[in-house]
Structure 1
Amino acid sequence: MELLNIECLGKRLRLEGSMAGWQQLYWDNQLVSQKSASPNNQAFHIHQFELTSQSTRPLSTPSAKQNSDSLENSALDDVIIDNIQTNAIPVRLEVDVKWQPFYLEYCVLVDEEQISQGQRTTKDIEQQVPEIAVPKANKISMVGLASLGFKLLKSAKVVKALLAGASVAAYSWLFSIEFALALIACLVFHEYGHIRAMKHFGMKTKGIYLIPFMGGLALSDERINTRWQDVVISIMGPTFGLFLSIACLVAYWVTGNVFFAGLAAFNALLNLFNLLPILPLDGGHILKSISFSMNSVTGLIACVAGAAIGVFISYSLGLALLGFLLLIGSLEIVFEWRGRHQSHLLPLDSYGQIFSAIWYLLTVSALIGIIWVIAATGDDMLRMPLEILKS
């Protein structure tokens, strides 16, 4: 990830690094220094490189005026080639990085004279826009292809309307027009939660796209820089879904209309499914951000133990499907844990890990509670979401 990007001698000095300890320093987009990952993961690093000052003078007239200096990377020693004299200028970057909570302190010296110093925190990382885009893996998926197709289409509003119409038609064909409209409302409310979170972080959004039989997508042109952003953006969709289910449940208690009870139960099931720890679902992003921010084997063991407890509770309550999917998702997180240091995302600190885990567990518990309460009414149709979890 990009740790630092400042001006140095008229060019950009950019530092990239990871929790594993490796760092790469670029001056004018040219690699000038790098540090390999180390077992002790030292926080303090000194990067050194040399620039050269070239001056020209006619060999036949030693008293002629010299041209102005220009800097470029070149040889280390002073040499004279024909009429060009090259002088090496040492540049040193001292940087001290603490990851949890993130804090970076730097100092730049040119020819042993300090020219720049400062600090960076998590807020600076969240707001930065890197000059060099992070390469993305070329994974073929339906979601990725759909996202790429949206970027290629200029008439976004027309596309949104067509997809929304197709979704209503598809769900009406499978169920009924009333159920289709209710389902679309649930999807839009869920995706709006993602949109609100993106706007909270100052990200430009492209709106909500409804895809028949796949759900919805909330798109943004900008990428996230921290795992806290990933957690908040991911969990705000199910959180908004929870608010909608609570509102429908209250409406059912006030009016006695079974339609509101059914909408509350099915919406809760929809958002609970999104919280499963399986990528690319919201729950997969949340638990991945939490577990990948734990920079120790102890953290991973704690995450696995928590997942095991969740599986045990699910099977104890007879929620077989939920327990099975939770187990599969947990294994997926464990398999990807070894590559956590290569991510460009700034990890969560200890407070962020605990807060995210509590937020996730409370949201899951509340959604299950709503499904359980509505199923207790005895209506066969309203018991369906609970029976699905028990299947």
Structure 2
Amino acid sequence: MELLHINCLGKPLRLEGSMAGWQQLFWGDDLVSVIPASADYQGQRMHEFTLSVQPQVDHEQAANQLADSPIPAMQPQSITIRLEIDLQWQPFLLKYQLLQNDNLLTQGQRDTKDIERQIPVKPVEAKRQFSLIGLASLGLKLFKSAKVIKVVLAGASVAAYSWLFSFQFALALIACLVFHEYGHIRAMKYFGMKTKGIYLIPFMGGLALSDEKINTRWQDVVISIMGPTFGLFMSIAALFAYWFTGNIFFAGLATFNALLNLFNLLPILPLDGGHILKSISFSMNSMLGLVACIAGAAIGVFISYTLGLALLGFLLLIGSLEIMFEWKTRHQSHLLPLDRYGQLFSAVWYLLTVGALVGIIWYFAGTGDDMLGLPLKILQS
């Protein structure tokens, strides 16, 4: 990831690095200093390189020279540039000094907020994986200039869900999807990201799109979990509406919306839950963190099977194993990891959201209505 980007003698000086310990310093497009990967991945480091520059000619002095007196050749001068840094990853803090021949040029420091706001000079290319959602996203980008595509896709979604269920239920489902995606949009805007709106994909749900890349795991967690959080708010609102009116429609809306958002929180990529748990586990830099991640996943699977939620437990197990198998690649990411507080806060937020959604499904299953009990039966299947 890009740690620092400052000006040095008329060219950008860019420092890139990762928690694997390696660092690369670029002056313009030239690689001028490298620190290889090592177990000692933070603390004080020094990058140094030498430039050979041609001294400027004093034109007034040259004009005063006699015509038959040749101007002596100017010898190139060597300039030593030294970048001294003190790097701390969790919480992130980078202090730096830039010196020219031991003379201080500039100094400063950067924290997590600076990383969140930066736009990398070399955009990070996301790893391409084959998926229907990825193909749908690519197709939408081709039509991003045509706003009418949103209306067409929304109409197609209403028609598709009306064909499967009913027109009224289709509208309710569309409302759930839009409110869920609006949560993602609000989070993106909170981080100052430009958004392109919400796209509804028949039989696949919705997408909240942005052209901008995230720089930190915290951004990934907040953007991912805000969709299910907004979905939880909608289910709670429908639950209160059911208590005040007794209308079974609000009960169905609350429980099926809870089921939809609960599946989005499964730790399977590219679902929201996969991004959340991947950000938490990949921010743990020690073996103790991996053990804690494995223990948490095992407890979640045990609780799911104890409560009779066989399908939920099985998908939780598969998703957790997928993330754990990729744990060794965490240092290759360009995203700034969560600090200890961020890891704990994200885990608690995730667990409370999952628990609340399961609680809503369980509550309506206890009413004795076969239709309202269907989401719980799906989780138990």
TM range (shorter): over 0.9
Q: How far off its partner does 1:112 sit?
A: 1.2
Q: How far off its partner does 1:148 sit?
A: 2.1
SS at match of 1:377: coil
**1:50 maps to 2:88:** no
CA distance in 1, matches of 2:329, 2:348: 25
CA distance in 1, matches of 2:55, 2:224: 57
| 1:349-364 pair list within 5 angstroms | 349-364=339-354
Q: How far off its partner does 1:147 sit?
A: 2.0
Query: Contact conserved, 1:319 with 1:389, CA < 8 A, in 2?
Result: yes
Q: How far off its partner does 1:385 sit?
A: 0.3
CA distance in 1, matches of 2:247, 2:143: 43
Match of residue 164 from structure 2: 174
Instruction: Specify the code of the residue in structure 2 equivalent to 1:151.
Output: K
Match of residue 165 from structure 1: 155
Match of residue 271 from structure 1: 261
Query: Contact conserved, 1:21 with 1:36, CA < 8 A, in 2?
Result: yes
Q: How far off its partner does 1:62 sit?
A: 10
Match of residue 72 from structure 1: none
**1:389 maps to 2:370:** no
Instruction: Specify the code of the residue in structure 2 equivalent to 1:30.
Output: D
Q: How far off its partner does 1:65 sit?
A: 5.6
Aligned-residue identity in percent:
73
CA distance in 2, matches of 1:7, 1:310: 50
Query: Contact conserved, 1:160 with 1:210, CA < 8 A, in 2?
Result: yes
Instruction: Specify the code of the residue in structure 1 equivalent to 2:198.
Output: I
Q: How far off its partner does 1:54 sit?
A: 1.9
**1:317 maps to 2:310:** no
SS at match of 1:133: coil
Query: Contact conserved, 1:12 with 1:28, CA < 8 A, in 2?
Result: yes
Q: How far off its partner does 1:43 sit?
A: 1.9
CA distance in 1, matches of 2:130, 2:85: 39
**1:9 maps to 2:9:** yes
In structure 2, stretches of 5+ residues that fail to align are none
Query: Contact conserved, 2:14 with 2:25, CA < 8 A, in 1?
Result: yes
Q: How far off its partner does 1:140 sit?
A: 2.8
Match of residue 88 from structure 1: 78
CA separation of 1:114 and 1:179: change in aligned 2, threshold 3 A? same
Query: Contact conserved, 2:116 with 2:215, CA < 8 A, in 1?
Result: yes
CA distance in 2, matches of 1:292, 1:22: 17
Q: How far off its partner does 1:342 sit?
A: 0.8
Aligned counterpart for 2:195 among listed residues 205, 212, 223: 205
SS at match of 2:268: coil
Query: Contact conserved, 1:25 with 1:33, CA < 8 A, in 2?
Result: yes
Q: How far off its partner does 1:143 sit?
A: 2.0
Write the deviation string for residues 96-143 of structure 1: whole angstroms up to 9, x where unpaired.
110000000000011111101000000100011111111332333222
Q: How far off its partner does 1:41 sit?
A: 2.3
CA distance in 1, matches of 2:263, 2:67: 82
CA separation of 1:98 and 1:190: change in aligned 2, threshold 3 A? same
CA distance in 1, matches of 2:304, 2:76: 72
Query: Contact conserved, 1:2 with 1:130, CA < 8 A, in 2?
Result: yes
**1:347 maps to 2:313:** no
CA separation of 1:122 and 1:63: change in aligned 2, threshold 3 A? farther
CA separation of 1:61 and 1:349: change in aligned 2, threshold 3 A? farther
SS at match of 2:96: strand
| 1:14-25 pair list within 5 angstroms | 14-25=14-25
CA separation of 1:195 and 1:65: change in aligned 2, threshold 3 A? farther
CA separation of 1:62 and 1:200: change in aligned 2, threshold 3 A? farther
CA distance in 1, matches of 2:280, 2:290: 10
SS at match of 2:242: helix
CA distance in 2, matches of 1:63, 1:346: 61
Match of residue 142 from structure 2: 152
CA distance in 2, matches of 1:65, 1:251: 91
| 1:1-391 pair list within 5 angstroms | 1-55=1-55, 85-391=75-381
TM-score, length-scaled by structure 1: 0.93
Instruction: Specify the code of the residue in structure 2 equivalent to 1:348.
Output: L
SS at match of 2:75: strand
CA separation of 1:53 and 1:313: change in aligned 2, threshold 3 A? same
Instruction: Specify the code of the residue in structure 1 equivalent to 2:88.
Output: K
Write the deviation string for residues 133-166 of structure 1: whole angstroms up to 9, x where unpaired.
1133233322222222222224432110010011
SS at match of 2:192: coil
CA separation of 1:259 and 1:96: change in aligned 2, threshold 3 A? same
Instruction: Specify the code of the residue in structure 2 equivalent to 1:270.
Output: L
CA distance in 2, matches of 1:225, 1:167: 33
In structure 1, stretches of 5+ residues that fail to align are 67-82
Query: Contact conserved, 1:56 with 1:85, CA < 8 A, in 2?
Result: no
CA distance in 2, matches of 1:255, 1:317: 31
SS at match of 2:39: coil
CA separation of 1:50 and 1:314: change in aligned 2, threshold 3 A? same
CA distance in 1, matches of 2:299, 2:69: 83
SS at match of 2:130: coil
- Structural RMSD (CA): 1.7
Q: How far off its partner does 1:63 sit?
A: 5.9
